[in-house]
Each structure stands twice: as structure tokens, then as C-alpha cells.
Amino acid sequence: MEFKAKDIAALLNGTVEGDGEVRLNNISKIDQGVPGTLSFLSNPAYTKYIYTTLASAVLVSKGFSPESTLSCTLIRVDDPYAALAQLLKMYQEMNPEKSGIEQPSFVSSSATIGENLYLGAFAYISDHAKIGKNVKIYPQVFVGDHVVIGDNTILYSGVKIYADCRIGSDCILHAGVVIGADGFGFAPNENGPYSKIVQIGNVILEDFVEIGANTTVDRATMGSTILRKGVKLDDQIMIAHNVEIGENTVMAAQSGVAGSSKVGKNCVIGAQVGISGHLVVGDNVKLGGKAGVMTNIADNSTMIGAPVQDFKDFMRSMAIFRKLPQMSVDVSDLKKWMNKIEQH
């Protein structure tokens, strides 16, 4: 599919600076641009590449001022990254949509199916499940008994949703996601193996939740494990039983939240963060990668480290830590000097 730069600018409510007739048939990173592609500049660290890129056109902010001659056409927009996201969404919507029920697949006679369902081969819809309108269920998905799935939700291949869980509208669950497996509940015995505590709760995903590949969200022991509206989880994340994640919180890969902890809204959680059980993380909190959270965290905090601490304190500590080898040498020299004085 090919478009002129001026047509893309019109779609994005942008303006063209340069050759508006240049034809574009793909998208490329600015440091790997090739002729015929559209690139974008949103991170100032990549500004140097705009002077050497081979991309035919580049999305830039309206305030961008080049410091030397450019060979590419500029498409000026309010926010290049947001404009790119809008463009990619438009491109995706142009692709033909999956539709119909493929065979072999199974739909229980007691299940309720909404209009315009796509059901891939080898998918299984269990008893009394309720599927909304315009839902896409890709091959090898399992939907358990009494599961509710809202309108416009997408379940990619291999998603497993255990009984009684509720998935909102406009959600996206990527390949291998497991919703509603048992929480990690076992009672220790004095003389023998652990006894399993039956998990009778469920998982609730509110609207506009997106969950990355191979992430797991465990059902509650009692009540619900809840991901509030707009939560975004990366790949390979573990959310334990009875956890609640607040609206619009985002969490990067390989992080984990232990049982019964509550994470507030609008939080940004880096990769490989571990949050212990029965804690409260406030609203608007930022946690740096590999943070180890073992205490409650107040609203609007920015924390890092294991155990976690205030970001500024952590950076000051690291500045001292880097000096420890030389400080060790200095202390050793000082001890030698003091020994000499004592000997005299």
C-alpha cells in the first residue's frame, strides 16, 4: 500500500515541509531508514539521525528546528509518537478482519454468542459462557464455564480463561495469557505435605485492559483479583491472588505482585520489579527496574533499588558506592599511617 506524504499529513492534521508528492510504502526507524519509508523523531537522543537518514519522510514535532540541510520531507505534527500510533492503527484497520466460526471448534449449546464473532479452529467455549459483539477468539483458546467477555475484545492464540472470570470490553489478551489459574494458597502441616487451600474467587478485567504474552493473573482465594480500566501489562508478568491494580497503571516485563497487594492508579512500574504481599502502593507511583518493594509506598513517590528507596537517595548512595574501592584503599593507608605514629 502506497501513500503520498501530503496524504499522510492530511490524515494526521499535519503540515508538509519539502516534497509532498514523495511516495511512501512502509515505516522504518530513523537510524535504519530506507528510501520509500516514513520514519519519526520523538526522542531527542535520535535527533542526529535525521541528518543522515535515508527515509523519504519523517514525522517531527511542529517546534522542531533543523540545524543543517535535510534530504527528507518533514511532516510536522503536534506529537510524532502519538501520530505514528494513530497511523499504525489506521493501517491495521485497513487489513481484512477475521470472521466466522472455523472448524473444528466447540461452542456449548448453553453459551451465549454475540454478533460478528470470529472463532478460530480448535477453540473451546464452555457452558454458560457469554461472549459479546465483535469479539475475536483465535485458535486454541479455552473459555471456561460462566466466563463473560465484553464487546470488541481480542483473545489471541493459546489464551486460557478459567471458569467464572470476567473480561471487559475492548481488551486484548496476547498469546499464552492465563486468566484465573489457582492462587498460590497452601497451608503448612506439621508432619507432611502442604494442604491446598481451595481458590473459589475469580479474576475481573475491566475495559481497555491489555495483557502481554505468557502473563498470568491468578484467581482470588475469595472475592476477586481485579485489573481496573486501562491497565497495561507487558509479557511474562505474574499477578497473584486478590491483587488489585488501579486504573491506567502500566507494568513492564517479568515483574510480579504477590498476593493481596494493591497497586494504585496511573503507576509506572519498570521491568523485573517485585512487590511483596499485603502491601499498598499509592497512586502515581514510579518504580524503577528491579525494585524490591517490601513496604507500603505513598502516593506520587519515585522509587528504585532493592530494598526500594527514594530515587534521589538511591542515586546519592550509588555515588558513594562507586567510591568504596578507593575509600577502602584510603582507610587501609590511614590505618598504616596511624600504626606508624603509635609505634613511635
Supply the residues annotated as catalytic: 241
**What stretches of 130-226 show up as alpha helix (H) in DSSP?**
none
DSSP readout, 244-281? EE-TT-EE-TT-EE-TT-EE-TT-EE-TT-EE-TT-EE
Separation between Cα atoms, residue 56 and residue 22, nearest integer Å:
7
CB neighbourhood size of 104 (10 A) = 8
> Which grid cell sits at 202?
475469580
The secondary structure element, H or E, covering residue 208 is none
CA distance 18 to 66: 13
Helix, strand, coil shares, percent, the chain, to 5: 20, 30, 55
Contact at 8 Å (CB) between 230 and 209? Answer: yes
Cell matching residue 99: 470472521
In this structure, what are the phi and psi dihedrals at residue 297, rounded to the nearest 5 degrees? -125, 130
Tell me how far apart the alpha carbons of residues 261 and 279 are, in angstroms, rounded to a whole number: 5
Separation between Cα atoms, residue 115 and residue 278, nearest integer Å: 42
Could you give the 3-state DSSP secondary structure of residue 4? Answer: strand
Beta bridge partners of 140: none
**Measured distance CA(37)–CA(341) in Å, rounded:** 74
Euclidean distance between CA atoms 326 and 330, whole angstroms = 6
Q: Which residue has the cell 480448535?
A: 122
